[in-house]
Chains A and B, each alone.
Chain A
Amino acid sequence: MAYTSLTQQNPLRVLNMSKDSQMGLVMARAGLGKTALLVQIALDAILRGKRVIHVSIGQGIDKTRVWYDDILQLILQGHSVDRPHELIDMVSRHRMIMTFQASAFSRARLEERLNDLVLQDIFRPNCLIVDGFDFDTADREALEDLKNLMESMHLQAWFSAVRHREDLRVSPHGVPAPCHEIDDLFDTIILLQPREDASIELEFINNSSEHAIGSKGLRLDPTTMMVKER
C-alpha cells in the first residue's frame, strides 16, 4: 500500500483492533467529536487498504461526506502526498455511505443492504461505522443481534453513543449510561472527556478484551478534532 506512511504515524495504532468482527464504541456527550473520531478510525482503515461502510442514522449523505473531505484535507495538510487526487479517489472507492432515517434503521434492513452489496460483488466491506445509533431506546437483544450480524459477516464495527450529563449510572468497568449494561459486548470503548485546557482526552476501557488499560495519553485537538499524542 502506497499510503502506509500516512497510517504508521497515526496515533490510532494503539487501538489494536486487528482481528475482524470486533466491536468498538466511542462515547461522549454531544459535540465532543464522536463523529470526527469515527471518521478518523474509518480513514485509518481505508488507508490500510480496508473497505468501510459508514452507516449514518439521521444524517444525510452530503453531511457525512463532508466529514470525510474535511478530515482527509487535514491529513493531507500534515503529510506530503504525491498525487492528492489519486488518494481522494482511492478513499471514495473504499468508502460507502449508507444513511437511514432513524425509523428506517433495523438489523434486518442493514443485513439486506449489506447482502445487496456483497452478493453482487459491488462492495465487500471490512469495517462498519455506525454513527447515530440510538442506545437510549435500544435493548441488549438488539445489540446482540447486530453483534451476531457483524460476526457472521466478519465485519469490524465501530459505534458511537451519546452520554448524558445528568445520567450518572456507570458499569463496574467504568462505562457510563446508556451503555453501562452492555459494555461486555464491545472489545474497545473510548470515552471522550473534556479537560480543563479545552482539549479532549481519549480514555480507553476494555481494550481488546484486556480490561481497563486506561488512558494512553491521546487527545483530540479541539480546533481540528484530530487525534494527537500528548
Chain B
Amino acid sequence: MKKDLSKVRNIGISAHIDSGKTTLTERILFFTQRIHAIHEVRGKDGVGATMDSMDLERERGITIQSAATHCTWKDYAINIIDTPGHVDFTIEVERALRVLDGAVLILCSVGGVQSQSITVNRQMTRYKVPRIAFINKCDRTGANPGRVVQQLRDKLGLNAVLMQMPIGLESDLEGMIDLVAMQAVYFDGDQGREIRREAIPAHLQDEAQAKREELLDAASMFSDELMELMLEEGDIPEAVVHEAIRRGTLSLGLTPVMIGSAYKNKGIQLLLDAVATYLPTPMDIENTALDLNDEEAEKTVSNDPADPLVALAFKLEDGRYGQLTYIRTYQGEVKKGDTIINSRTGKKVKVGRLVRMHADEMEEIEEAGSGDIVALFGVDCASGDTFCAPELSWSMSSMHIPAPVISLAIKPVDNKAQINMAKALNRFTKEDPTFKTYVDHETSETIISGMGELHLEVYIERMKREYKAEVEVGAPQVAYRETITRRADFDYTHKKQTGGSGQFGRVAGFVEPLEEGEYEFVDQIVGGAIPREFISSCDKGFQKSLDKGTLTGAPITGVRITINDGAYHAVDSSDVAFQLAAIGAFRQGYDKAAAVIMEPIMKVAVEGPSEFQGAVMGSINQRRGVIIGTFEEGSYTVVEAEVPLVEMFGYSTTLRSLTQGKAEFTMEFSTYKQVPKGLADELIKAFNEKKKES
C-alpha cells in the first residue's frame, strides 16, 4: 500500500484529436510495465490500444471515454486518466480535470496548438490544473518544436519553456538534450528501453547553452536561491533548478515543455520523470467541499487519511464486470467492507469489491488511501455524487454542467429493442450528465438530447453495440426556447361551477423580461387578496406554464412574474383552482408580452491553411454566422465565429469538400439568441401544423 502522498500523482492526458495521446498513454503503460506489448491505435494487429476499451473507439480510432489506470514509475504511483479529444465530449474532459492534480498537454510537433488544445487549455485554467506540455511526433515531416513553444505562448498565453532540445528532427530524430543535466540522451535497445546519457554533441553545444539560459531565466523567477546562484555565476545544482521549475509549474506561472515521439519510443521515460518531478502531489492542491449540514459552507478537504472519508464518484462504467464506479478520495480511507454514505441521496452504501483499474484489467485491493483513484463494484449512484464517512455530509463542489442544445427522436424497431433501449438510456444518463432523455407526451416519441451531433451519434452506436438496441433515428432538432421582450399585465379569474365543488381564483399582476436567470416569482400581494396558502399554488401554476411556450412549444425562460392582486372564495378556492388561475393569467400576459423564439448559438473555430480562409468565411456567412475574428500565423488561419447550431448540421461535410479535407472545426455552446423573423414564422407555422395533425 502506498501511503506516502508525496509519491502519488493523479494526472490527465489531454490534447487535440490525433496528436497521439492514446499512443503516448500506451507507451507510458509499457514503460511502467503495466502492459507487455504495444498495440497501436490503428494497429494492424487488430487488437487496438489498451486504453480504448470500447469497440467503437477502436473502430474510429478515437478515445470516447476516459479510462482511469494506475501504474508505477520508479517509486511513484501514477493514476492516469486518458481523456477524449473531441469537443462534443467535453463533459468527460471536464469531469476528469476535476479529479486530477496535474496534467500533460500533448501537442503535435507539426500541427502545434490547434483549436481543441485551446478549449482544453481553457478548461484546465478553469480548474487550475498545473500542467506540463509534451510536444509529440517530433519524428514527423515538418516537425518544429520551437514553433509549437511560441504558439503555447501566443495562443494559450502560457509561460512555456523548453526543457529539452531535439538532436535531429523529423526522420533524423536521434534523441534529445536534457537542458537541466546538460547531457545528450539517447534511447537504445528493444523499444527504446535503455537510456544512454552522453556528452552533448559539439555542434549543438552553443545552442544548448543558449536554450539553457532561457530555461534558467524563466525558472529563476520562482526561486531566489536559483537567482542568487545565477548572479554568482557558480555551479547550479540540478535539484535547485528542478525545485524552481516545480514551484513555477504549481503556481501555474510556468509550463515546462518536454519533447519526443511516442510512436518511436523517444522521450517517454523523461516525460515520466517530469511528471514525478514537476506535477503536484494531492497535498499540493487545495480542494473544497460543501458541508450540507452547515448551509453548504465551503470546507477544505484535508488529504489526511486519518480524517473521515470524502470521495467523489467521477465516472461510471458498465462493463463486462457489472457496474464500476470510479472514485477519487480527497481525505480518509476507503476499505473493503466499510459503510459509506452517498451525500446526495443520503443512502448507505457498503463497499464490496475495491479495485484498481488498468483499462480492461483490474487488480483487487483491500483499501485505498487519500488522494487515490480507484473503482468500486456494484454501487448504485450517479456520476458526480460524493461519498462520505457516516459522520460527514459533504458534497464536492458541483461541476460546471452545460445544458443540452440538440435533441433527436429515437424509435426502437421492435419490442426487444424497446427493453434494451430503456436499459441503455438509464445507464447513459447516469454516466453522463449532459446526456438527457425524456418521452414527448404529445408524440410518444423518446427524445435524447446532448451537446452535439457526434455526442448523440456515439450513444446511438453504443446502444446498438453494447445493448443490441436497434433504433430508428429522427432528424436532429435544436433546443429552441421562448422568452418575452416587454412587460405585460394580466388579470385572470378562473371560475368553474358545473356541479360538485366549484373552483374559484383570481390572479393579477404582470410579466416582464428577466435579463439574468430563467424564472423569478415576486409576491407583492398585500391585505390577503390571495391567502398565504395559495401563493405557492400560483408559483406552481406559473412554473407549469413555462414548460411549453405558445409559439413553438419550447420551454420559456427569462421571465419575472409579479403578482399584486387577486381574489378568493371561502369555499371554492383551492390549490388546484389557483394553479389553474395562474396558468390562465400567464397565458394572458404572455400573449401581450411580445414573445420571441431563441436559438442556441455555438462558438465555432475553424482552422486550416490560409488559402481557404475566404471559402471558410463564406461558408460561415451562408450559415447566418457572425465572424468574430481571424487569427493568422504563417500559412495557418483560425476563423472564430458565432453560428446558430441549427445551421451547423452537416457542416463537417461541407468544410471537408470546401478545403480538400485540410481544415477542421470545433464548436461549443455559447449563448441563446433571438431567431430572425422569417425563420421564427416558419417555426411557428410548422408547430401549428403539427398541432393540427395530432
Chain A residues with CB under 8 Å of chain B are 60-61, 64-65, 85, 89, 92-93, 96-101, 103-105, 109, 112-113, 115-117, 119-123
Q: Which of B499-528 contact A (CB under 8 A)?
A: 515
- B228 sits at the interface (CB 8 A): no
Q: Is B630 a contact partner of A60 (Cβ separation < 8 A)?
A: no
Could you jot down 26 A-B contacts, CB within 8 Å? Answer: A60-B157, A61-B630, A61-B638, A61-B640, A64-B629, A65-B629, A92-B626, A96-B627, A96-B628, A96-B630, A97-B628, A97-B630, A98-B630, A98-B632, A99-B629, A99-B630, A99-B632, A101-B154, A104-B633, A105-B632, A113-B632, A116-B614, A116-B617, A120-B614, A122-B621, A122-B627
Give chain B interface residues in 626-681, CB to chain A under 8 Å. 626-634, 638, 640, 642, 673
Question: Contacting B632 at CB < 8 Å: which of A109, A115, A119, A120?
Answer: A109
Task: Mark B residues whose CB is within 8 Å of A.
Answer: 154-155, 157, 515, 613-614, 617-618, 621, 626-634, 638, 640, 642, 673
Residue of B617, B618, B631, B634 touching A60 (CB-CB under 8 A): B631
B-side contacts of A85, CB under 8 Å: 515
In the complex, besides A65-B628, A100-B633, A116-B617, 19 extra interface pairs with C-beta distance below 8 angstroms are A61-B631, A92-B642, A96-B628, A96-B629, A99-B632, A100-B631, A100-B632, A101-B154, A103-B634, A104-B633, A109-B632, A116-B613, A116-B614, A117-B617, A120-B617, A120-B621, A121-B621, A122-B621, A122-B627
- Contact status A99-B631, CB under 8 Å: yes
**CB-defined contacts of A101 to chain B, threshold 8 Å:** 154, 632-634
Identify which of A61, A64, A98 gathers the most chain B CB atoms within 10 Å of its CB: A61
The smallest C-beta distance from B621 to any residue of chain A, in angstroms, reads 4
| Contact across chains for A104 and B632 when beta carbons are under 8 A apart | yes
Q: Contacts A116-B617, A120-B614, A122-B617 given: A104-B634 contact, CB under 8 Å?
A: yes
* Pairwise interchain contact A92-B628, C-beta atoms closer than 8 A: yes
- Which A residues touch B629, using CB under 8 A? 61, 64-65, 96-99
Assembly CA distance A89 to B80 (angstroms): 43
Tell me if A61 and B154 are in contact (CB < 8 A): no
In the complex, what residue of chain B is closest to A117 when comparing beta carbons?
Answer: B617
Q: Tell me, in angstroms, the Cα distance from A51 to B642 when the chains sit together.
A: 18
Q: Closest CB of chain B to A190's CB: distance in Å? A: 25
Q: How far is the CB of A81 from chain B (nearest CB, A)?
A: 13
The 10 closest A-B CB pairs, nearest first, are: A97-B629, A116-B614, A61-B629, A101-B633, A122-B621, A120-B618, A99-B631, A100-B632, A104-B632, A98-B630
**Residues in A neighbouring B155, C-beta threshold 8 A:** 60
Question: Closest residue to A104 on the B side, CB-wise?
Answer: B632
Residues of B within 8 A of A112 (CB): 614
Closest residue of chain B to A116 (Cβ to Cβ) is B614
| B630 partner, pick from A65, A92, A113, beta carbons under 8 A | A113
**List of B residues within 8 angstroms of A64 by Cβ:** 629
Q: How far is the CB of B7 from chain A (nearest CB, A)?
A: 39
Q: How far is the CA of A116 from the CA of B634 in the complex (A)?
A: 18
Q: B642: which A residues are within 8 A, CB to CB?
A: 92
Known: A104-B633, A120-B617. A60 touches B626 (CB 8 A): no
Instruction: For B515, list chain A residues within 8 Å (CB).
Output: 85
In the complex, how many angstroms separate the beta carbon of A175 from the nearest chain B beta carbon? 30
Q: Is the CB of A122 within 8 A of B634?
A: no
Query: In the complex, what distance in Å separates the CA atom of A101 from the CA atom of B631?
Result: 8
Chain A residues contacting B628 (CB-CB under 8 Å) are 61, 65, 92, 96-97
Given the complex, which residues of A lie within 8 Å of B626, measured CB to CB? 92-93
CB pair B613–A113 under 8 Å, yes or no, is yes
Name the CB-closest residue of A to B485: A83
- In whole angstroms, what is the CA distance A159 to B621 when docked? 28
B207 CB, min distance to chain A CBs, angstroms? 21
Once the chains are docked, how many angstroms separate the CA of A209 from the CA of B371? 70
Shortest CB–CB separation between residue B126 and chain A, in angstroms? 14
